[in-house]
Amino acid sequence: MLTNINRLIEKLAYTLRMEIVFYIHILAATAWIGGALLLFALGIFLRDKQAQANVYEHLGPLYGYFETFWLVTLLTTGTVMYMHHGFGDVFKYAYDSDLAQTMIHKVYMVGILTFLTIIHMIIAFKTHTKTRTKWQQIISRGSSLLIFLLNLIILWYATQLRTML
C-alpha cells in the first residue's frame, strides 16, 4: 500500500517536472520568436538609416545574448522532452509514422536555424559599429530572412507534434 502511494507521488512529481520543462520550452519559444520578429520588423519599417544604426549599435549586443540564451534553452528543454516522449524508440520502431516524420523535419529545421544563427551572430559581433563588406551584408541579410521563415515553419511542425502526442 505504502509503496503504491510512493510510486504515485513519484509519478506525479515526474509529470509535474515535465510540465515545467514544457512551460519553459514555450516561454523560450515566445521570447526567441518574439525577439526575432521585432528586430525583423525594425529592419523593414525603421526607414531612417541613422536611427536604424543607433538602434543596432545599442540594442545589437544585448539582443545577441538574449537570443542565444533562449535558443540554448529551447534546445535543452526540447531534448529533455524528446527523451521523455521516447522519440529514440519512435524512430526505431515507427520511422515512417507521421509523428517520427514531423519530429525529424522539426529537428532538421532547428539544426539549419541554429547553424544560420551562429553565422549571423559571428558577422554581427565582428562588424558591430563597422562598415560591412558586400558579402557580409548579403550573408547577414540572407540568414536573417531564412531564420525568420524557418521560425514560422518550425512553429508549424511544433503545433503538429503537440496534436499527435
> What are the residues binding ligand HEM (CB under 6 A)?
22, 25-26, 29, 32-33, 74-75, 78-79, 81-82, 85, 107, 110, 113, 154-155, 158-159, 161-162, 165
Least spacing, CB of residue 100 vs ligand HEM, in Å: 12
Question: Residue with C-alpha cell 521585432?
Answer: 38
In the complex with ligand HEM, which residue's Cβ is closer, 25 or 120?
Answer: 25
In the complex with ligand HEM, which residue's Cβ is closer, 71 or 124?
Answer: 71
Least spacing, CB of residue 159 vs ligand HEM, in Å: 4
Least spacing, CB of residue 125 vs ligand HEM, in Å: 20
Residue 153, φ and ψ in degrees, nearest 5: -70, -45
In the complex with ligand HEM, which residue's Cβ is closer, 78 or 124?
Answer: 78
Angle between helix 134-164 and helix 98-126 axes, rounded to 10 deg: 150
In the complex with ligand HEM, which residue's Cβ is closer, 77 or 140?
Answer: 77
Q: How many residues does the chain have?
A: 165
Q: Rg for the chain (alpha carbons), in Å?
A: 20
- Find, among 133, 18, 4, 141, the residue nearest to 86 by Cα: 18
Asked if residue 158 lies in contact with residue 29, where contact means CB atoms within 8 angstroms, the answer is yes
Give 164's DSSP letter.
Answer: H
* Residue facing ligand HEM at closest CB distance: 78
